[in-house]
A and B are shown apart, each in its own frame.
Chain A
Amino acid sequence: MSDEKIGVFLCHCGGNISDNVDLDYVESELLKGDDVCVVRHHENLCSLEGKNIIKDQILREKLDKVVIAACSKITHGNTFQNYIQPLNPYLFEMPNIREQCSWVTENRDESTVKALSLINSSVESVKHNEPLKKIPTKVKNSVLVVGAGISGITVANSLAKQGMEVTLIEKRPAVGGAMIQVGKVFTPGKLSEDCAACLLNPVIDEMVRNEKITLLTNTVLESSTRNSGNFDVILRKKPDYINPEKCTSCGKCTEVCPTYAPDEWNEGLTDRKAIYKPFPQAVPSQYTLDDESCIRCGKCIDVCPTKAINLDAIDEIISLTVGSVVVATGHQRYDTAKRPEYGHPFYEDVLSQMQLARLMGVNGPTNGHLVVPSTGKVPRRVVMIQCVGSRDQMPDGHKYCSKVCCMIATKNANLIHSHYPDTEVIICYTDIRTPGEYEKYYKYVQENGVKYIRGRPGEVARVDDHMVVRLEDTLTKTKKEIHTDLVVLSAALEASEGTMEAAKVLGIPLTEDKFIKEKHPKMQPVSTDIEGIFVCGTAQGPKDITESIIQANTASTKISELVNGGLEVEPFIASVNVKKCVLCGKCIDNCRYQALSMHNQSIRVGPIACTGCGDCIVTCPQEAISILGQSDEKLEASIKGMLKNKNPGEQIIIAFLDDIGNVSANNMGINRVECPSSVRIINVPFINRVKYRHVKYALTHGADGVFLGEYPDNARHNEIRENVLVMKRHLKEDGINPDRLLIHGVFIPYFRGLASQFKEFDDELRLLNEA
């Protein structure tokens, strides 16, 4: 028995509790043992008067710890945390005898018994409370942005303007991503097509001029480890074969280089040399070397007037510590060769939308002249095919809608139409998806004369000197063979290689479609599962430029919150007992929030990253880890207290509910839905916190059943369910009927379901007990 002095305060809640719980009886019972040294009642403990009573008693009786039996912690937890002040704010417990007792139990006697049991539980458990402090944390004021397309550049600019140090890395030799390549973008409000480079250049300039931004091209993220809130990252920069300081962009090297490779900038429509400048306006404006095609003949070295070329240059490994990471790795386009029926790339007159954009780009292979590749003439007709690889459940297809292809096709069609009025443009579609304002642009283009046929073509063939597209016009029910000079495929947007690589390195999950998974698609659209890592742009899913920019700005705001907010984190995080820890590192590998790291022969816990989920507790073979303020012993004590005054013939169910389940149970009370009085709730942050030893302890010390209420939409769901099966097996081995353990899904609004589940379990246990 500890010699700590524990005081209990009982709130009447203006009759809400006292009408249905005999608080005098509770008081007399509490005072019978020697655990509690003082009990006080009050009409409304949350009032100022209540505050004085609590404070007064703490000082007068020199209380060490306090139990306040009242409403839910969510309602008044903070209030009482303040009221107990001279005491440390974590030295109290709050049994919920209102929502989870007086409001859900009809019979006053039962309600009283239950209240006493809940309070006993808190009395036992508060003995294990230790003084804790909120953890003030600082996130390092530096950010790594992966990917320098429009999203990455936007985020970098915004962060740098807020005073942060930004490292912006890009895998390719030049920045600008898909936007710079596409040539023209459109503005639906103005019904116009604008020059993409003209819009993008000021943004790029701003990035280049900002001294807080370090741009590294030809660079990838190689590894990342979490180190108490920060990330230690390693970047690999391809060799700088051409010294940027010396290169004057004279282009002599390119002239003499004998080796050709397909030109990525022009989507392979033309070739480039092995040493080259990606495109005339490329930033950084510097020559680059494609070391896979280079044959090391050295001709370029001979002609370079500034001796800028060094073919023996080696990779650069850069290590960096940053406070946050933004994944802006963009997308790639569906490989249309997976739909050979459309003839790409077998027929040179079948193009992708991006190839068409390059053909029409003034800095493209034909200086902006649209010509049929096989004939060099202006096409008389162009047919576009939508949904190539999108909305497609066939193997290799993507089920989702790529969201922007309808607008892209419409824009390119209008461009063709306005430059070549004699060329007929037909778009074959399944549905035209131009939500919001874009509908206006669609109607405008349609009125301009671009034709839309509703039908999904099945094949493209070459007949004589032209192409034929076969489809059914599903609106007129006519089968058509459209003869055309040029076919353009609107290929799906898909997750880029770079996105998948970054996700792997950073340990963030992907969606089923391989895009970066946000923490919550509605409420936290730019956060990821790992605190401090954010996502924006098409790395997260198909979207247009506007949306990408909005997301980029959101990500920067979120980082600013993290850095400037002066974060105070709840202290319920993992803590490692150095004496027991053997440094096996299992916990580090298993923590999906990357909260743990190895430091000078000890395991360190990152307070921002750690969610207190308790996964590490389960993994650690040495039982060296506990969650502060939530030790195994404390949990056991809660159970012990609940079972303390069990009456003969009374049935008790210990219900461990996670946070969602606990709110759902509170809703039962608020809505006065009856719940069997046998149910005694213990709120745990995550269900995997409950170990077999707790289940067994409960069932061997008087509990008739153990109920686990779990919100199923959590990352560990399958493991939890699996674990329950294992526990059931253990129960059987230990001679306990496994039916006494039940796991059930909980959702906040589904409180009636929870109540009836409790009832059903209660009935079942009664039958079990009779048998």
Chain B
Amino acid sequence: MKSSKKQEMSDNQGDDLAHRVLNDIKASSDLGLLRCVQCGLCTSMCPASKHSDYDAREIIKRVLDGDESIIQDEIIWNCFYCYTCQSVCPVGNSVCQVTQILRQMAIDEDVGKQKIESFISFADNYIKEGLGSIPREYHGQLKIDYGQHWENLQENLEEVREQLGLDSMYLLPEAKKSIDKTLDAIGFKKRVQEIKDVRNR
């Protein structure tokens, strides 16, 4: 009797956006989201806030206000995970964690899938090779950024590794096969497909 009443209460609490964020598996157990006093210290230090319309404090305010439109809002994609907000917040909140959770919520809807769709070639590469590597299509930009040296290294990578006495970087076919099976089993491929479907729609 007593315990079911407790359950009821916490269920009610769990309904709103702030509690959904707090109860998310990604949220650290002592996340101070509900303790936020809107002091603005996070914003004062946040590089994303400095260079864009992103306002760390405002993100928290909208979450606390239960403003669901924040999930659809472009703005949550501006944080680049530097964790400065988390390191300075006097009440142990982390805007950075909160935006990550909001993004996951967005990904569960189409708008988020569109957002991460441009990174899908990383996933494709992973499915293909069984390991994380930079997709071909980014090489052009990296060449510009890092210069000829980088290109040389990429082209002669196998040779260089050989000289250093290292084995091939690529997996053996049977390893690839078992990773492939795993990615299938855990639904990774399916999720990649879902994201691609959004583009195709």
List, in ascending order, chain B residues with CB within 8 A of A471's CB: 40-41, 44
In the bound complex, do residue A393 and residue B44 qualify as a contact, i.e. CB atoms below 8 Å apart?
no
Out of B44, B90, B92, name the residue touching A472 (CB < 8 Å): B44
Minimum C-beta distance from A197 to chain B (A): 36
In the bound complex, do residue B49 and residue A479 qualify as a contact, i.e. CB atoms below 8 Å apart?
yes
Minimum C-beta distance from A397 to chain B (A): 7
Q: How far, in angstroms, from A519 to B29 measured CA to CA in the complex?
A: 34
In the bound complex, do residue A456 and residue B40 qualify as a contact, i.e. CB atoms below 8 Å apart?
yes
In the bound complex, do residue A458 and residue B41 qualify as a contact, i.e. CB atoms below 8 Å apart?
yes
Q: Which of A469-502 contact B (CB under 8 A)?
A: 470-474, 477, 479
Q: How far, in angstroms, from A474 to B49 measured CA to CA in the complex?
A: 13
Out of B37, B43, B49, B90, name the residue touching A431 (CB < 8 Å): B37
In the bound complex, do residue A458 and residue B50 qualify as a contact, i.e. CB atoms below 8 Å apart?
no
Q: How far, in angstroms, from A456 to B91 measured CA to CA in the complex?
A: 12
In the bound complex, do residue B90 and residue A392 qualify as a contact, i.e. CB atoms below 8 Å apart?
yes
Minimum C-beta distance from B41 to chain A (A): 4
Out of B88, B91, B92, name the residue touching A458 (CB < 8 Å): B88
In the bound complex, do residue B44 and residue A458 qualify as a contact, i.e. CB atoms below 8 Å apart?
yes
In the bound complex, do residue B44 and residue A479 qualify as a contact, i.e. CB atoms below 8 Å apart?
yes
Minimum C-beta distance from B129 to chain A (A): 43
In the bound complex, do residue B45 and residue A474 qualify as a contact, i.e. CB atoms below 8 Å apart?
no
List, in ascending order, chain B residues with CB within 8 A of A619's CB: none
Minimum C-beta distance from A123 to chain B (A): 41
Out of A430, A458, A472, A473, name the residue touching B37 (CB < 8 Å): A430
Q: How far, in angstroms, from A156 to B50 measured CA to CA in the complex?
A: 56
CB nearest neighbor in A for B37: A430
Out of A393, A456, A477, A479, name the residue touching B39 (CB < 8 Å): A456
Out of B50, B57, B90, name the residue touching A393 (CB < 8 Å): B90
In the bound complex, do residue A459 and residue B90 qualify as a contact, i.e. CB atoms below 8 Å apart?
no
Q: How far, in angstroms, from A454 to B37 measured CA to CA in the complex?
A: 11
- Say whether B38 faces chain A, with CB atoms less than 8 Å apart: yes
Q: How far, in angstroms, from A635 to B15 measured CA to CA in the complex?
A: 54
Q: Which of A564-606 contact B (CB under 8 A)?
A: none
**What string of 1s and 0s marks CB contacts (under 8 Å) between B36-62 and chain A?**
011111111100011000010110000
List, in ascending order, chain B residues with CB within 8 A of A455's CB: 39-41, 43-44
A477 and B44 contact, Cβ closer than 8 Å, known pairs A393-B90, A393-B91, A456-B39: no
**What string of 1s and 0s marks CB contacts (under 8 Å) between A331-350 and chain B?**
00000000001000000000
**What string of 1s and 0s marks CB contacts (under 8 Å) between A500-518 and chain B?**
0000000000000000000
In the bound complex, do residue A456 and residue B45 qualify as a contact, i.e. CB atoms below 8 Å apart?
no
Minimum C-beta distance from A764 to chain B (A): 15
Q: How far, in angstroms, from A471 to B45 measured CA to CA in the complex?
A: 8
Interface residues on B, range: 20 to 34
CB nearest neighbor in A for B50: A479
In the bound complex, do residue B91 and residue A472 qualify as a contact, i.e. CB atoms below 8 Å apart?
no
- Say whether A457 faces chain B, with CB atoms less than 8 Å apart: yes
**What string of 1s and 0s marks CB contacts (under 8 Å) between A415-426 and chain B?**
000000000000
Q: How far, in angstroms, from A387 to B44 measured CA to CA in the complex?
A: 15
Q: Which of B114-158 contact A (CB under 8 A)?
A: none
Q: Which of A373-398 contact B (CB under 8 A)?
A: 387, 391-394, 397
In the bound complex, do residue A472 and residue B32 qualify as a contact, i.e. CB atoms below 8 Å apart?
no
CB nearest neighbor in B for A473: B40
In the bound complex, do residue A397 and residue B43 qualify as a contact, i.e. CB atoms below 8 Å apart?
no
Q: How far, in angstroms, from A45 to B109 measured CA to CA in the complex?
A: 80
Minimum C-beta distance from A342 to chain B (A): 11
CB nearest neighbor in B for A390: B90
Out of B32, B39, B44, B55, name the residue touching A470 (CB < 8 Å): B44
Q: Which of B70-121 contact A (CB under 8 A)?
A: 88-92
In the bound complex, do residue B88 and residue A472 qualify as a contact, i.e. CB atoms below 8 Å apart?
no
Q: How far, in angstroms, from A394 to B43 measured CA to CA in the complex?
A: 17
CB nearest neighbor in A for B87: A394
Task: Work out how many contacts link A and B, with CB atoms closer than 8 A.
Answer: 63
Out of B32, B57, B88, B92, name the residue touching A474 (CB < 8 Å): B57
A457 and B37 contact, Cβ closer than 8 Å, known pairs A472-B55, A477-B55: no
Q: Which among A387, A392, A474 has the highest number of chain B CB atoms within 10 Å?
A: A474
Q: How far, in angstroms, from A471 to B44 measured CA to CA in the complex?
A: 4
A430 and B45 contact, Cβ closer than 8 Å, known pairs A472-B57, A479-B50: no
List, in ascending order, chain A residues with CB within 8 A of B35's CB: 393
Q: How far, in angstroms, from A393 to B49 measured CA to CA in the complex?
A: 23
Minimum C-beta distance from B45 to chain A (A): 4
Q: How far, in angstroms, from A360 to B35 measured CA to CA in the complex?
A: 38
A474 and B38 contact, Cβ closer than 8 Å, known pairs A392-B90, A458-B45: yes
Minimum C-beta distance from B78 to chain A (A): 14
List, in ascending order, chain A residues with CB within 8 A of B37's CB: 391, 430-431
**What string of 1s and 0s marks CB contacts (under 8 Å) between A436-461 and chain B?**
00000000000000000011111100
In the bound complex, do residue A457 and residue B90 qualify as a contact, i.e. CB atoms below 8 Å apart?
no
List, in ascending order, chain B residues with CB within 8 A of A454's CB: 40
Q: How far, in angstroms, from A693 to B43 measured CA to CA in the complex?
A: 64
Out of A397, A470, A474, A477, name the residue touching B90 (CB < 8 Å): A397
Q: How far, in angstroms, from A472 to B55 measured CA to CA in the complex?
A: 9
Minimum C-beta distance from A489 to chain B (A): 14
In the bound complex, do residue B92 and residue A459 qualify as a contact, i.e. CB atoms below 8 Å apart?
no
In the bound complex, do residue B55 and residue A457 qualify as a contact, i.e. CB atoms below 8 Å apart?
no
Q: How far, in angstroms, from A699 to B41 measured CA to CA in the complex?
A: 62
List, in ascending order, chain B residues with CB within 8 A of A459's CB: 44-45
Q: How far, in angstroms, from A393 to B34 measured CA to CA in the complex?
A: 14
List, in ascending order, chain A residues with CB within 8 A of B55's CB: 472, 477, 479
Q: How far, in angstroms, from A430 to B41 measured CA to CA in the complex?
A: 9
Minimum C-beta distance from A557 to chain B (A): 39
Minimum C-beta distance from B80 to chain A (A): 17
In the bound complex, do residue B92 and residue A470 qualify as a contact, i.e. CB atoms below 8 Å apart?
no
Q: Which among B38, B42, B90 has the highest number of chain A CB atoms within 10 Å?
A: B90
List, in ascending order, chain A residues with CB within 8 A of B91's CB: 393
CB nearest neighbor in A for B42: A458
In the bound complex, do residue B92 and residue A393 qualify as a contact, i.e. CB atoms below 8 Å apart?
yes
In the bound complex, do residue A479 and residue B90 qualify as a contact, i.e. CB atoms below 8 Å apart?
no
In the bound complex, do residue A456 and residue B44 qualify as a contact, i.e. CB atoms below 8 Å apart?
yes
In the bound complex, do residue B32 and residue A479 qualify as a contact, i.e. CB atoms below 8 Å apart?
no
Q: Which among B43, B88, B89 has the highest number of chain A CB atoms within 10 Å?
A: B43
Q: How far, in angstroms, from A392 to B58 measured CA to CA in the complex?
A: 20
A-B contact pairs, 29 of them (CB 8 A): A341-B88, A387-B39, A391-B37, A391-B90, A392-B90, A393-B90, A393-B91, A394-B90, A394-B92, A430-B39, A454-B40, A455-B40, A455-B41, A455-B43, A456-B41, A456-B44, A459-B44, A470-B44, A471-B44, A472-B43, A472-B57, A473-B40, A474-B38, A474-B40, A474-B43, A477-B55, A479-B43, A479-B49, A479-B50
The 9 A-B residue pairs with the shortest CB-CB distance, nearest first, are A458-B45, A458-B44, A472-B40, A456-B39, A472-B43, A455-B40, A474-B40, A456-B41, A471-B44
A sample of 4 more A-B contacts (CB under 8 A), given A391-B90, A458-B41, A459-B44, is A393-B90, A394-B90, A474-B57, A479-B55
